[in-house]
Each structure stands twice: as structure tokens, then as C-alpha cells.
Amino acid sequence: MTEIAQTTLMEQEAREAADVLDRQFAANQSICETLAARFQEHPLRLIATCARGSSDHAAAYAKYLMETSLGLPVTSSAPSIGSIYGESMALSDCLFVVISQSGKSPDLVANVDWAKANGAFVLAIVNVEDSPVTERADLVLPLHAGPENSVAATKTYIASLAAILQVTAYLSGRDDLKAAVKALPDQLREAAKLDWSKAVIPLAAADDLLVVGRGLGFGIALEAALKFKETSSIHAEAFSSAELMHGPLAIVRERYPILVFSQEDETRAGVRELVGKLRDKGARVFVAEPGDADQGRLPVVPDMHPATAPLAMIQSFYLLVNQVALARDFDPDHPPHLRKVTETQ
């Protein structure tokens, strides 16, 4: 295992995220305003998301953000319901959000057609504007991320979270969320400068580990676990901090590596309590959280809105996991057996 000082496509593209958001927020403001005006006249009763992989982790973030901001239920629609089973469903007055980097996976294309046939209004959040999904959707919110050549998604994932944030800010009309949108690109630039290197060697030495988050931070925990698998062949599993107490805690042993994301909101007290229990069991816990520097704390951008703090944390994480992969002698740009676009039915 070695630590290699080299720049990968994954690192380069992760560092582009702040500039992507500058373009995206400016270009998509009028689209978000149009969507908000439509649903002021035709109130929603339900939001459904449909996605796979990293995009589905963005959908997990959408669930917590939209439910806490809009007071509407947000459900994850399994792609096979529309693409394979094809059963009728009551989707009138539903915003059906399809999230995809390429916009071409057959199952997502089929779900756009299925959702519209069942009465939903379809919003497509995509990076490739000229794609089958965008041709069929009622409204398109482009990510404006540009080409992403590393197989491991980075800037497109952050851009997907940011698109969800901007849409929610306008649907809710909340000034605090609109202000958070405005501040986010510069905060991502700060996050890209933070030093998480203390965690590189301990995590690179692991064959399996846990990633923990809760609420608004759970989606990035899912994404982080996937990136450990994709780029470093580490068996990583993500858990809500609450779910970890319901059985999985039994696998934690002395020096077991755990990465925790903890934003400053109502979930923080419970996450901190869990971290204490994990350390009492002898686990080696790294926590991305606000606070003074200590042995297990990874620095975060201070004083961020809870809705945007996870985006800054995953920005810092991508640079960490890139170094973990290199330390394990893996090429994070070309993980074995994976392709950039996965087309499933």
C-alpha cells in the first residue's frame, strides 16, 4: 500500500464542482421559478423520485430536504415498477423527479413514460440535455456539469444535490434556502481546501468499514460507501445512525474504521451519542463535524446551513477517497468491471 502524489481525473472533476454550481444556479433560476409558479396554482399532494446509483443517493437527500421544507411526502419509486411491472398508479398531482447523469438508461426512460401516463408531472434532473429522458419530461433541469470522464461520479453528484436544493428553495419560498444556494459555490471552494489526510492511511488499510449519517446527511453516507466500493474495493456499508443501534452495532470491534457525517441540525445530538458509544467499543471513528480540532474530527466549513453542509462534506470526501484509492494502488478513474453509463431495464 502506497500513498501516491498524482492528480487523477476524479480529483480534477471533483474540484470543478463549485464552478459547475455557479453556472447551474444562474442558468436554472428561471426554470425553478416556473416550476414554483405552476405548483402554486396546482398544489402537489406527493413527490416521487426515480433514480439509480449515485443519483439515487441524491434522491435520498431530496427526501429529507423536501419533506422538512415542503411538508409533503416524498417517496422513492422503484424503477422496475414502471419499466417491468407497468401497473397503474394514482400519480395525479404528483411531481415525479427523475435524476440521471446520462438520461438514457432504458428503465428511467420507461418510467418517464409510465409516470406521465399515470398523471404525473415529470421533472428531469440530468447532465446530458439531449437525451431520451429530456425528450419525454415535462420540464428539464440541466446540471451544466460538462463532460465527466472519470467513471466515479463526483461533480455530477454534487450538481444533482444542488439542483434539488435550488428547486426546493423556490418551491418552498424559503429565504434561508435561497440564501444558502447563493453562498454554496464559495463554500465548496473552502471545502476543497480542507485537510482530511489524517484519515487516508487508516481507511486505506481497511477491507471493510461503516459510513454513518442521518437525515440530510444520510444521502452522502450512501454515496461515500459506494465510492469506497467503486474506487478502492473496500466493502463499505452505509447506515443511519439510528439504524446502526438496531443490530449492526454488533459487528463493531476494536479499531474498526467508521466514517461519520454530522451536520448541525436536530440529528446532531443523537449522532454524537452514537459516536461516544462507538469509541467506547474501541472503534476508530472519524467524524466530519463542526468543532475544534481533535484526533478523530475531520474539519468542515463552519456555520453552514444544515441543508448545504452535506454538499460541502461530500466535496471534501471525494478528495479523501481519491487518495485512499491511490494509497491502495487502485486507479479511481477506471474501476474494474464498471462503466460510466449503466443501462438497465
Q: Are residues 130 and 197 in the same domain?
A: no
The pLDDT score that the predictor gives to residue 345 is 57
- Is 131 part of any domain? yes
List of E strands, the chain: 46-50, 74-76, 94-100, 121-126, 139-142, 208-213, 235-240, 257-261, 284-288, 297-298
Percent of the chain residues past pLDDT 70, beyond the cut: 96
CATH number at residue 184: 3.40.50.10490
- pLDDT above 80 (res 240): yes
CA distances from 48 to 35, 321, 337 (A): 15, 31, 31
Task: Note whether residue 337 is domain-resident.
Answer: no
pLDDT digits (tens, 9 = 90+) for 275-319: 999 999 999 999 999 988 787 999 999 999 999 999 999 999 999
Residues 142 and 283 grouped into a single domain: no
Q: Is residue 274 part of a domain?
A: yes
pLDDT band at 335 (very low <50, low <70, confident <90, very high): confident
Residue 65 lies in a domain: yes
Q: Is the pLDDT of residue 187 over 70?
A: yes
Q: Does 181 lie in the same domain as 196?
A: no
4: in domain: no
Asked if residue 338 is part of any domain, the answer here is no
Query: What is the percentage of the chain residues whose pLDDT exceeds 90?
Result: 87
Total structural domains in the chain? Answer: 2
Q: Band the pLDDT of 183: cuts 50, 70, 90.
A: very high
pLDDT digits (tens, 9 = 90+) for 3-21: 455 689 999 999 999 999 9
- Is the domain of 103 the same as that of 28? yes
* Best CA proximity match to 310, nearest among 161, 132, 201: 161
Specify if 185 maps to a domain: yes
Residues 170 and 279 in one domain: no
User: For position 249, what pLDDT does the model report?
Assistant: 83
Please report the pLDDT score of residue 250 as a whole number.
84
Same domain, 38 and 165: yes
169 burial class (0-12, 13-18, 19+ CB within 10 angstroms)? buried
Closest by alpha carbon to 40, among 108, 95, 91? 95
Sort residue 288 into left (φ over 0), alpha (ψ -120 to 50) or beta: beta
Q: Which of 56-70, 150-164, 284-298 has the lowest mean pLDDT?
A: 284-298
Which grid coordinates belong to 183? 453562498
* Residues 220 and 105 both lie in one domain: no
Contact present, 9 and 150 (Cβ < 8 Å):
yes
- Under the banding of pLDDT at 50, 70 and 90, the label for residue 339 is low
Domain check: are 150 and 285 in the same one?
no
Task: Indicate if 241 and 308 belong to the same structural domain.
Answer: yes
Q: Any idea which of 1-10, 161-170, 202-211, 260-269 has the lowest mean pLDDT? A: 1-10
Residue 88 has pLDDT above 80, yes or no: yes
Which among 189, 207, 242 is the end of a domain? 189
Determine the average pLDDT of the residues in 74-102: 95
Averaged pLDDT, 35-53: 95
Is residue 53 domain-shared with residue 173, that is, in the same domain? yes
Q: Which residues contact 85 (CB under 8 A, 6 or more apart)?
A: none
343 lies in some domain: no
- Work out the mean pLDDT of the chain and round it to a whole number: 94
Residues 137 and 283 in one domain: no
Supply the pLDDT for residue 341: 58
Which of 141, 174, 189 is the C-terminal boundary of a domain? 189
User: Could you tell me which residue, 133 or 6, shows the higher pLDDT?
Assistant: 133
Task: Give the domain range for residue 183.
Answer: 9-189
One domain for residues 132 and 148:
yes
